[in-house]
Amino acid sequence: MDYRQTAEALVADDLATSAAEVHGALTGMLCTPQLPSDWQRIVLGEIPLPGSALPTLIEHLREWTEAQLRSEEFSFEPLLPPEEAPLSERVEALAGWCRGFLDGLLAAGVRDVGALRGEAGEFMHDLQSIGEAEPPQAPTEEDERAYAELVEYLRAGVGHVYEECRRTVKASP
């Protein structure tokens, strides 16, 4: 999936949410065993314009994300601006992705994200802080490395949350 294409489709429909936030919310919902029936409205925040290409694009995004989460190699990648984008844009998108992920989990019925056990629980605590991240004023190479490490941590953390949500359901009577 392409971040810019998704962002442009959202702008074309006058939707105020970012592509990263949409993907974060969708990913959060997909980590749970049951995707809400009104998931598109939840992810987009409102109904797209008639004749919009957005529903098809969002459906492709769902299929792409679900395939990544379910793959044995866990090839998950958050939908974020490309590396050539300014670091400030990437940090803002990363923070939005994290907020969207939390919102998606809540929308799918995970009422207490802090109650997730083990690494998933630790990740959820960290995710709230990452969701409040501010872009650096004068980015350095160290900032670039820190961003790359956060994205990698995000990838791994999503895997832990996905597994914990699935494990919890399997353990329920």
Range of the domain at 99: 3-171
pTM of the model: 0.90
Cβ–Cβ under 8 Å, residues 20 and 93 = yes
CATH number of the structural domain spanning residue 37: 1.20.120.740
The pLDDT value recorded for residue 115 is 73
What's at 105, amino acid-wise? L
d(CA 104, CA 99): 9
The pLDDT value recorded for residue 172 is 46
The pLDDT value recorded for residue 171 is 45
What's at 140, amino acid-wise? T
Residue in this structure with the two tokens 């866990």, named with its chain if needed? 74
Return all residues near 116 (Cβ < 8 A) that are at least 6 apart. Answer: 110, 123, 124, 161, 164, 165, 168
The pLDDT value recorded for residue 170 is 47
The pLDDT value recorded for residue 153 is 95
Number of folded domains in the chain? Answer: 1
- Counting as low any pLDDT under 50, the low residues of the chain are 170-173
